[in-house]
Structure 1
């Protein structure tokens, strides 16, 4: 006899400090071909490494302290992560922003001012209504297509629905828009980022219960 039952969904758990380096490394690989990060960090040879360094700092100083970062994988290794900021915590305090500038400069160099303008443009259109903010969702490229990102989305969105709280994200890839739409997100605006050659991003909002 064979077991005809469906495979169990990937287990999702909240990230803790010892997970940070592994999460940052996989996000560096996951966002290697991201249009916005490719525009900001054009050097292909060092991009994944530079992004991992930057993501590690933002994880420690911005996302992890608020308890919204979750991870999953098909085994012991972390293969996907979602960086959620809870209601009221999407905006980075100025004192924390100030500590971000030196590492940002190490990653982006002369592209740092462009990056700061980009961040400012994105924040200007950020909704003020209380919501959960999906700052980043990434799966290590070799593990993509196994439902890990979907498991992470369902984990948080089920709680959003239970609590009656909306969710918000920015998609930097147009081909990912239909993916998020399957989870109830709707495009509210296509935003043109400032700067020569800057790619657009898609702002997406999800009402609870969608």
Structure 2
């Protein structure tokens, strides 16, 4: 298995994977309630707008060869996001999320408000998902490996907010650790878990020799 992957610009397919994968996610369920008619259209619209915004501002999207898993990140060190850029992003969300627009914007605002400002250079692992029913074993392992190679080669850590217990467990399996109190959604007990893995942790990660081609491949 090679862990070298070229970034994708297929935002529509990435958004489709994310929409399927996050269908039962508690945070997305708060953002766009399950009882809302046309729910998947609004969720996909939100995902599309967010991924497009990140790619337009130095972000990276990876997609597995089987088109059943995706990972999207944005760098902590990039050209500043202008007020006009932010307004355009909010307008893009509003245009495609109908009656869910308020909570969609509220979620982005919540993530921004709780984003740590004291971390060394890193990437924000904003979105990661595997399409339900995927028949490709190790699809996400390959994406995570590609990201870890990028981090290692560029001397970067990774920060993310896990939106479920299973997501948090997966990120911790790859070496990230909780670094902040949970981020609670307004008026609920639904929380996102902030996690971080430093470049030092990545450098001594047991999987790194495998990623660099020195040992036997990883298993899912």
TM-score of the pair, normalised by structure 1: 0.81
| 8 Å Cα contact 1:79/1:139 also seen in 2 | yes
Give the 3 Å change call, closer, same or farther, for CA 84–192 of structure 1 in structure 2: closer
Query: Among residues 103, 128, 151, which one is paired with 1:137 in the alignment?
Result: 128
Per-residue CA distance 1:140-178 (angstroms, 9 max, x = gap): 112177221121111111221233211100001012222
Report 1:165-180 matches (<5 A): 165-180=156-171
Task: Write the distance in 1 (CA, Å) between the matches of 2:103 and 2:126.
Answer: 19
Residue 39 of structure 1 aligns with which residue? 30
Does residue 21 (structure 1) correspond to residue 44 (structure 2)? The answer is no
**Number of equivalenced pairs:** 198
Distance 1:66 1:88, change over 3 A: same
Provide the residue aligned with 1:5 in structure 2: none
Aligned: 1:12 with 2:1 = no
Gapped regions of structure 2 (runs ≥ 5): 202-220
Structure 1 range deviating more: 149-158 or 46-55 = 46-55
1:155 to 146, 149, 152: 146
Q: Choose from 106, 111, 125 the match for 1:122.
A: 111
SS at 1:134 equivalent: strand
Would you say the 8 A contact 2:31–2:107 is kept in 1?
no
Q: Distance in 1 between matches of 2:57 and 2:44?
A: 18
Counterpart-to-counterpart distance in 2, 1:10 and 1:159 = 10
